[in-house]
Homo-oligomer: A and B are copies of this chain.
Amino acid sequence: MEFRLLAFLLALGGILSCESRFMVYNTSAGIHPTKLNVHLVAHTHDDVGWLKTVDQYYVGSNNSIQGACVQNVLDSMVPALLADKNRKFIYVEQAFFQRWWRDQSEMIQSIVRKLVQSGQLELINGGMCMHDEAVPHYIDMIDQTTLGHWFIKKEFGVTPRIGWQIDPFGHSAVQAYLLGAEVGFDSFFFGRIDYQDRAKRKNEKSLEVVWRGSKSLGSSAQIFAGAFPENYEPPSGFYFEVNDDSPIVQDDISLFDYNVQERVNDFVSAALKQANITRTNHIMWTMGTDFKYQYAHTWFRQLDKLIHYVNLDGRVNALYSTPSIYTDAKYATKRAWPLKIGDYFPYADGANAYWTGYFTSRPALKRYVRVMSGYYLAARQLEFFKGRSSSGPNTDSLADALAIAQHHDAVSGTEKQHVADDYAKRLAIGYAEAEALVASSLACLVESTSPMECGNPTTKFQQCPLMNISYCPPSETILSKGKGLVLVVYNPLGWEREDIVQIPVMMESISVQDSEGGDVESQLIPITNPYLKLRSYHVKAYLGRNAGGAPKYWLVFSVSVPALGFSTYSISHARATAFTAGARSTKSSVYKILPGKNSGISIGQGNLNVAFSAEGKMTHYINGRRKEHVELSYSFYSGSNGTEEDPQKSGAYIFRPNGTFPLSPATETRMTVVHGPIIDEFHQQINSWIYQVSRVYKEKEHVEVEFIIGPIPIDDGIGKEVATQISTSMKTNKTFYTDSNGRDFIERIRDYRTDWNLEVNQLAAGNYYPINLGIFMKDNEKEFSILVDRSVGGSSLSDGQIELMLHRRLLLDDSRGVSEALNETVCVENKCTGLTIQGKYYFRFDPLGEGARWRRSYGQEIYSPLLLAFAEQDENYRKNSWTTSFSGIDSSYDLPENIAILTLQELDGGKALLRLAHLYEMGEDEDLSVLTSVKLEKIFPGKKIGKATEMSLSANQERAEMERKRLVWQVEGEDEDTKVSRGGPVNPAKLVVELAPMEIRTFVIEFDQLDSVSDA
């Protein structure tokens, strides 16, 4: 009776019980061999800047914009992982992790080290940020990944195994093979692919593939790649952030709303749904999203319960997992996977929602990042030559700023304006320090008799970061008696280089001499009004002061600079030269003409002539071989404000045009023709806010087109996206080629996708692709190539024509989170006008099969322009034992034409990091797409290489070890691996590095002490 009463009361429900009900959840489940395994991956996605700046996200300030504090995430992660050794967490963005790490006590650091060692905390992806994949340059992607990977290696001794690009807006071939396979990743996961593609892949269970991103490297650089079924969030109803409204697992029978069975059913049903579109008995749930786990406990408490009760239920097996565990589980199934080649661009998440606007959004920031990228490459070389100082000035903060700027809401242009400003500020601060380093390194080099000796140089070199707005104080001075302007011209490329230098000057008569005192021919080109207006407005806007007296001319002259070295030029007043009297600059002949009032115009006096109609329309490109028809025009797309059927607007992310409108050149505005010994130009005011210069260099066969666009007018209330069309008469059969992050070219076919039967919704937007290096097309006889100076969106919307989107100004937000219209302005004294951009593109015709040579080699020159440094010196500077010419590599050696030095950088302990890249794809050029050798010793004259260790691309492990560990994935329908060309191992005695097409090889070089150096 007593017992029955007790049983009755227990049955009545613990609702009346006040006893302790402390629960221990069984979270120990591993992989189950036969059940469906639901891999619960606890993660947070922390944008390195977006709506708030990176620092604001870290400390959790500015929460009125977005409630987000990464410090909370990492702070709360530690006790949450300690509370149960089965719990696991992944962390991705090292920019945040590093900030956090240096805030921690040694105790916490030691705990976290243990969590990393045990695998409870796994650092994956591991770059400073989750870089964008459309608009960054591959060198920036490598650098920012390396920065993060090094830190992880140094602090934890581990190497990330997994690529985790869950948010970027489409996925690139370079990401898959270079930043995936080549950094040693075993797999690569992402969230955003075209909605049509996704639907088909779900249907075919082909979201998970083996991806070969490189035609040249094929299976040797393949990776297991998984697109998520929906996004990178949990299934609906399984969000457990503080205040999230998913139903928590209420397992306290003594309280109301007990719901364990209900939640278990929800879980099983979501799992089975996903299992239906996934191969093998493993599915991954991404348990987290943007800036979640601010109180990690809230997630883990629910995940503990789900694992406990779902496994008690037994229909499926739930486990704490990571992408590594998931990858290994997939691999262990020994399945073959569908093959994926090419890339996942463009990305659309709806019929009228092509994320192709951001290829061009914030063109000024995109250019700034590209300029800084090239500068950083050069500055690291000069830092290496001088010897690195960890206390600065050094390149560290530029490295950091550049790394962060690769984030998929940074250079992508999809951040809020104040955040874009923050990236620019960081770049400016980083640049300032790198500039000081460059100046002091150059000073060392010119003042030292031996390259490796550097005391306290006295020469103060000035540089001109605002040359783009024709502002260069050191070159604009009126030189006093006995003083000359010395210009050091540094060439970061591995080949000797002939190039044209162009600097603004005040004086009319100038002479230029080379380092031996020989006369150099020079030309003076008047600086036209649009440039002077740009100059005065932006100096005021950016420096807060008046620009002062305007320079009158561009002084241009040819220079010749050794590989990784410099030449010195002196510039003086021709009337009263302080130096040896030299030839006076030639003033250009300038003609101003009205449209229609002439008989056609032609520029170019060397290999190339360009012809214009009387109205100023370019008509022909004429070189020694052929005369090609070519026309340039501008148009704008009016940004859609949404339609009744679909409210989608055109915005920072999305390009949704509502009609396209040609912009015809003004008929009443005078055009200017400039002729001179070095450069010919044709200036044209297209309309009141577009100015264009077509430029031809003697000795060069490409046309350089410079444009000034802006402010884009919006008085009509219409956002505009400005494109230029370059039209030829080629028959291109819908086909064109665009680069992947500045490296491999991928064939694009208009209104067509390789992977699925495209339903065409957006004729323009749906055919846009990101362009970093260039775009080309070909017919049976020739190739027509365009190279760009920054990332832009482009396409070929009709045969024979290429279109580039150059600038965008929009008035509405496109509802992808940024909640701001892309309406950039530049302000002076609180008066703001729309952003004006200035830029260039370059085009050229080549015979079929020969275009790559120009694209690859001139592409390198665009990326790595000559670095100019100015110093006023008295007339005797050359006598004062200055080194006026220098090469960092053996002066008898140039790198092979198809090989570039991507990185030359000093590491701790005097080691060097060297990255060599083959610039050509397999089959791209008859002569240059070949296995090529580089002699390492030639790159380090005066040093003795003790050891050259080949590393993974991010230099965080030995290449051999990486290869040993690499998982070998099988491709459906493929029995045998096809042979891929790769350079062989490096013989330590010979130190010759072979590079196959598209191969990049990374080395850590250790030097033996040389007696002569140890004296220094």
A16 contacts across to B, CB distance below 8 A:
392, 396-397, 433
Question: Which listed residue, B6, B98, B422, touches A18 by the CB 8 Å rule?
Answer: B98
List A residues 37-88 near B (Cβ within 8 Å): 53, 55-56, 58-64, 67-69, 72, 75-76, 79
Q: Which of A125-133, A246-254, A904-912 is found at the contact surface with chain B? A: A246-254
Residue A104, interface by CB 8 Å: yes
Q: Which of A293-301, A478-486, A856-864 is found at the contact surface with chain B? A: A293-301
Let me know if B295 and A20 touch, CB within 8 A: no
Let me know if B20 and A102 touch, CB within 8 A: yes
Cα distance A244–B242 in the bound complex, in angstroms:
12
The 0/1 profile, CB within 8 Å of B marked 1, for residues 19-39 of chain A is 111110000000000000000
Given A67-B242, A248-B60, the answer on whether A76 and B256 have CB atoms closer than 8 Å is: no
Question: Which listed residue, B9, B22, B64, B422, touches A103 by the CB 8 Å rule?
Answer: B22
Residue A643, interface by CB 8 Å: no
Residue A429, interface by CB 8 Å: yes
A422 contacts across to B, CB distance below 8 A:
256
Let me know if B21 and A55 touch, CB within 8 A: no
Cα distance A256–B418 in the bound complex, in angstroms:
13
Residue A458, interface by CB 8 Å: no
Let me know if B76 and A297 touch, CB within 8 A: yes
Given A295-B294, A397-B15, the answer on whether A59 and B252 have CB atoms closer than 8 Å is: yes
Count of interface residues, chain A, beta-carbon cutoff 8 Å: 59
Residue A105, interface by CB 8 Å: yes
A429 contacts across to B, CB distance below 8 A:
15
Cα distance A257–B297 in the bound complex, in angstroms:
29
Tell me the minimal C-beta distance from A423 to chain B in angstroms. Answer: 12
Residue A391, interface by CB 8 Å: yes
Let me know if B297 and A75 touch, CB within 8 A: yes
Given A18-B102, A55-B256, A255-B59, the answer on whether A72 and B391 have CB atoms closer than 8 Å is: no
Residue A243, interface by CB 8 Å: yes
Residue A5, interface by CB 8 Å: yes
List A residues 343-394 near B (Cβ within 8 Å): 391-392
Let me know if B72 and A298 touch, CB within 8 A: yes
| A contact patch SS | loop
A105 contacts across to B, CB distance below 8 A:
22
Residue A99, interface by CB 8 Å: yes
Let me know if B255 and A99 touch, CB within 8 A: yes
Residue A927, interface by CB 8 Å: no
Residue A245, interface by CB 8 Å: yes
Name A12's closest neighbour in chain B (CB-CB): B392
Question: Which listed residue, B59, B79, B392, touches A79 by the CB 8 Å rule?
Answer: B79
* Most chain B C-beta atoms within 10 Å of own C-beta, residue among A21, A243, A298, A433: A243
Tell me the minimal C-beta distance from A236 to chain B in angstroms. Answer: 13
Name A23's closest neighbour in chain B (CB-CB): B103
Cα distance A56–B245 in the bound complex, in angstroms:
12
Cα distance A203–B392 in the bound complex, in angstroms:
59
Cα distance A256–B429 in the bound complex, in angstroms:
12
List A residues 264-311 near B (Cβ within 8 Å): 294-295, 297-298
A75 contacts across to B, CB distance below 8 A:
297
A15 contacts across to B, CB distance below 8 A:
397, 429
Name A294's closest neighbour in chain B (CB-CB): B242
The 0/1 profile, CB within 8 Å of B marked 1, for residues 412-452 of chain A is 00000000001001000100010000000000000000000
Tell me the minimal C-beta distance from A110 to chain B in angstroms. Answer: 12
Cα distance A69–B429 in the bound complex, in angstroms:
44
Tell me the minimal C-beta distance from A437 to chain B in angstroms. Answer: 12
List A residues 490-514 near B (Cβ within 8 Å): none
Tell me the minimal C-beta distance from A456 to chain B in angstroms. Answer: 8
Tell me the minimal C-beta distance from A389 to chain B in angstroms. Answer: 9
Tell me the minimal C-beta distance from A933 to chain B in angstroms. Answer: 38
A252 contacts across to B, CB distance below 8 A:
59, 99, 103
A294 contacts across to B, CB distance below 8 A:
242-243, 295
A68 contacts across to B, CB distance below 8 A:
243
Cα distance A247–B69 in the bound complex, in angstroms:
12
Tell me the minimal C-beta distance from A905 to chain B in angstroms. Answer: 17
Let me know if A61 and B295 touch, CB within 8 A: no
Let me know if A295 and B59 touch, CB within 8 A: no
A243 contacts across to B, CB distance below 8 A:
63, 67-69, 242-243, 294
List A residues 818-861 near B (Cβ within 8 Å): none
A60 contacts across to B, CB distance below 8 A:
248, 298
Cα distance A297–B72 in the bound complex, in angstroms:
8
Let me know if A256 and B53 touch, CB within 8 A: yes
Let me know if B72 and A242 touch, CB within 8 A: yes
The 0/1 profile, CB within 8 Å of B marked 1, for residues 221-251 of chain A is 0000000000000000000001111111010
Tell me the minimal C-beta distance from A471 to chain B in angstroms. Answer: 25
Cα distance A722–B297 in the bound complex, in angstroms:
50
Name A101's closest neighbour in chain B (CB-CB): B20
Tell me the minimal C-beta distance from A966 to chain B in angstroms. Answer: 32
Cα distance A9–B252 in the bound complex, in angstroms:
59
Cα distance A244–B64 in the bound complex, in angstroms:
7
Let me know if A102 and B397 touch, CB within 8 A: no
Cα distance A250–B58 in the bound complex, in angstroms:
10
Cα distance A15–B79 in the bound complex, in angstroms:
29
Cα distance A102–B5 in the bound complex, in angstroms:
24
Name A21's closest neighbour in chain B (CB-CB): B102
Cα distance A59–B59 in the bound complex, in angstroms:
28
Tell me the minimal C-beta distance from A257 to chain B in angstroms. Answer: 6
Tell me the minimal C-beta distance from A29 to chain B in angstroms. Answer: 22
Tell me the minimal C-beta distance from A431 to chain B in angstroms. Answer: 13
List A residues 854-879 near B (Cβ within 8 Å): none
A9 contacts across to B, CB distance below 8 A:
391-392
A63 contacts across to B, CB distance below 8 A:
243-246
Question: Which listed residue, B19, B69, B72, B425, touches A102 by the CB 8 Å rule?
Answer: B19
Cα distance A76–B75 in the bound complex, in angstroms:
12
A19 contacts across to B, CB distance below 8 A:
102
Cα distance A246–B60 in the bound complex, in angstroms:
10
* Most chain B C-beta atoms within 10 Å of own C-beta, residue among A55, A58, A61, A69: A61
A18 contacts across to B, CB distance below 8 A:
98, 102, 396
Tell me the minimal C-beta distance from A968 to chain B in angstroms. Answer: 38
A20 contacts across to B, CB distance below 8 A:
102-104
Given A18-B98, A76-B295, the answer on whether A61 and B257 have CB atoms closer than 8 Å is: yes
Let me know if B61 and A247 touch, CB within 8 A: yes
Cα distance A647–B533 in the bound complex, in angstroms:
55
A99 contacts across to B, CB distance below 8 A:
252, 255
Cα distance A105–B84 in the bound complex, in angstroms:
14
Cα distance A99–B99 in the bound complex, in angstroms:
39
Cα distance A98–B68 in the bound complex, in angstroms:
32
Name A99's closest neighbour in chain B (CB-CB): B255
Cα distance A55–B298 in the bound complex, in angstroms:
17
Question: Which listed residue, B21, B62, B298, touches A69 by the CB 8 Å rule?
Answer: B298
Name A60's closest neighbour in chain B (CB-CB): B248
Let me know if B433 and A242 touch, CB within 8 A: no
A55 contacts across to B, CB distance below 8 A:
250, 255-257
Tell me the minimal C-beta distance from A515 to chain B in angstroms. Answer: 32
Cα distance A23–B5 in the bound complex, in angstroms:
60
Tell me the minimal C-beta distance from A149 to chain B in angstroms. Answer: 16
A103 contacts across to B, CB distance below 8 A:
20-23, 252
Tell me the minimal C-beta distance from A990 to chain B in angstroms. Answer: 39
Cα distance A248–B56 in the bound complex, in angstroms:
10
Given A6-B391, A244-B63, A392-B16, the answer on whether A58 and B255 have CB atoms closer than 8 Å is: yes
Cα distance A20–B155 in the bound complex, in angstroms:
13
Q: 3 closest Cβ contacts across the A-B interface?
A: A67-B243, A295-B295, A64-B245
Q: Offer 27 A-B interface pairs, CB within 8 angstroms, sorted by A.
A: A5-B391, A6-B391, A9-B391, A15-B397, A18-B98, A20-B102, A20-B103, A20-B104, A21-B102, A21-B103, A22-B104, A22-B105, A22-B106, A53-B256, A55-B256, A55-B257, A59-B255, A59-B257, A60-B248, A61-B257, A63-B246, A72-B242, A76-B295, A99-B252, A242-B242, A295-B295, A295-B297
Known contacts A18-B98, A72-B242, A99-B255; 14 further A-B pairs (Cβ under 8 A): A6-B391, A15-B397, A18-B396, A21-B102, A22-B103, A55-B255, A56-B256, A56-B257, A59-B248, A61-B257, A63-B244, A69-B243, A76-B297, A103-B252
